Amino acid sequence: MNVNSNGALDGAVIAVAGAAGPAGRAALLRLAEAGAIVVASDADTERLAQAVDEARYAHGGATVTGDTVDLLDPSATREWAAQTEKEFGRVDGLVHLVGGWRGCATFGETDLGDWQLLEKLLIRTVQNTSLAFHETLKRSDKGRYVLVSQSGAAKPTEGNAAYAAAKAAAEAWTLALADSFRKAGGEDGPRAAAAILVIKALVHDAMRAERPNAKFAGFTDVKELAEAIAGVWDRPAPEVNGQRLWLTPEP
């Protein structure tokens, strides 16, 4: 398949953090299809290479690269951002797809070890990527920071205390980034934007194959998520900056 132009994404330089999972793979494919230059990162070198190759082969002519980056290391994350801007001249987006889940049946069974893990995966990686890419996104005329969050951040359940709290913290951090973009834009409005895509849960083809009788009610397919990610660039920065964009009904 040849690369197709998709307006704002055509030729845009988009970094994708956590690119080796099902959501990351779908995002790489969609962004490459839209004509973006895609710079993918993940901690899993082998799975990352597979995801990058898949996107390259699916969309002939697309520029898709992969870097193994420890996003828990602020210096390594800043180096990734600086190298990306140096190589391609700018960065027009960072899509944050680093995920993870831990939970239990009841509030009383909550293991604070789960919080320690989720704080790293769901908060620290948001902090490091947003700080590393902040200035280069402000320099872009279509800079976007896209976080994927979960509806439980707004209405936690007892067994998901650690997960929901981590997601809520990641949202708050992203909204602070959005305020930075708003202030930088002044009276003309923000040129860059930080937006939050909210889902209930994700589903992909392998999950359906494993559980053919499951309904996955309210789940968002990873391809639909990828489409929503691409759509953030189709809307003006002031329209999406600091917004929670719901892909599932609000609780």
Token pair recorded at residue 242? 């600091």
What is the predicted pLDDT for the residue at 61? 84
Q: What is the pTM of this model?
A: 0.95
What is the predicted pLDDT for the residue at 230? 98
What is the predicted pLDDT for the residue at 7? 85
Q: How many CB atoms sit inside 10 A of residue 159's CB? A: 16
* Nearest-angstrom CA–CA distance, 242 and 225: 18
What is the predicted pLDDT for the residue at 60? 86
* CB proximity list for 194: less than 8 A, separation 6 or greater: 130, 144, 145, 146, 147, 174, 175, 177, 178, 181, 241, 242
What is the predicted pLDDT for the residue at 139? 96
What is the predicted pLDDT for the residue at 53? 96
pLDDT in tens, the chain (251 residues): 334 444 899 999 999 999 999 999 999 999 999 999 999 999 999 999 999 999 999 988 899 999 999 999 999 999 999 999 999 999 999 999 999 999 999 999 999 999 999 999 999 999 999 999 999 999 999 999 999 999 999 999 999 999 999 999 999 999 999 999 999 999 999 999 999 999 999 999 999 999 999 999 999 999 999 999 999 999 999 999 999 999 999 98
* Nearest-angstrom CA–CA distance, 139 and 90: 8
What is the predicted pLDDT for the residue at 59? 87
Looking at the chain, which runs of residues are DSSP E strands?
Answer: 13-17, 37-42, 64-68, 93-96, 144-150, 193-199, 202-203, 220-221, 244-246
